[in-house]
C-alpha cells in the first residue's frame, strides 16, 4: 500500500472513531441542558417539538455556530466541538431555551 493510501486509511479510521454527543430539543428545552464532550466531538442537535427551533452557540460572547433560522420537527443540525472551553447555547426563536456545551481537551 502506498503512502497516500496509508494516510487516507488513517484519516478514515479517525473520522469513524470521532465521538458524537446528542442534544434533543423537546418540550421547549435542550436535553441535556449541559453537555460535556472532548474536543473533536460531533454534536447533533435534533428538534423533536412540533414547532420550529434554531440553535445558536456563543463562546466568550462571540458567535461560534448558528443553525438555519427554523429547524422543523425531527430535523437535525450538526457541529464539531473543536476547541476546549464553554459554549452557551440558545434557541434563536425562543429566548428561554438555553444550555451549555463544555468542551474538554
Domain count, the chain: 1
Q: How far is CA 40 from the centre of its chain?
A: 11
Instruction: Specify if 6 maps to a domain.
Output: no
State which residues form the domain around 91: 19-104
pLDDT digits (tens, 9 = 90+) for 88-103: 999 999 999 999 999 9
Q: How far apart are CA 3 and CA 1, in angstroms?
A: 7
**SS3 breakdown of the chain: % helix, strand, coil, rounded to 5?**
15, 50, 40
Confirm whether 3 is domain-assigned. no
**Phi-psi sector, 17: left (phi>0), alpha (psi -120 to 50), beta:** alpha
CATH for 72: 2.60.40.420
Q: Considering only CA atoms, which of 93, 82, 103, 80 is closest in space to residue 28?
A: 93
The answer to whether residue 5 is domain-embedded is no
0.85 surpassed by pTM: no
Q: Is residue 69 part of a domain?
A: yes
pLDDT tens for residues 15-45? 554 799 999 999 999 999 999 999 999 999 9
100 inside domain: yes
51 is written with which cell numbers?
A: 414547532
Amino acid at each position: 500500500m502506498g503512502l497516500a493510501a496509508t494516510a487516507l486509511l488513517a484519516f478514515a479510521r479517525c473520522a469513524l472513531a470521532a465521538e458524537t454527543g446528542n442534544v434533543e430539543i423537546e418540550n421547549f428545552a435542550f436535553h441535556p441542558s449541559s453537555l460535556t464532550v472532548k474536543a473533536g466531538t460531533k454534536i447533533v442537535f435534533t428538534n423533536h417539538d412540533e414547532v420550529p427551533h434554531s440553535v445558536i452557540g456563543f463562546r466568550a460572547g462571540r458567535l461560534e455556530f448558528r443553525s438555519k433560522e427554523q429547524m422543523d420537527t425531527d430535523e437535525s443540525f450538526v457541529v464539531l466541538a473543536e476547541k476546549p472551553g464553554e459554549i452557551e447555547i440558545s434557541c434563536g426563536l425562543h429566548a428561554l431555551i438555553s444550555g451549555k456545551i463544555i468542551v474538554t481537551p
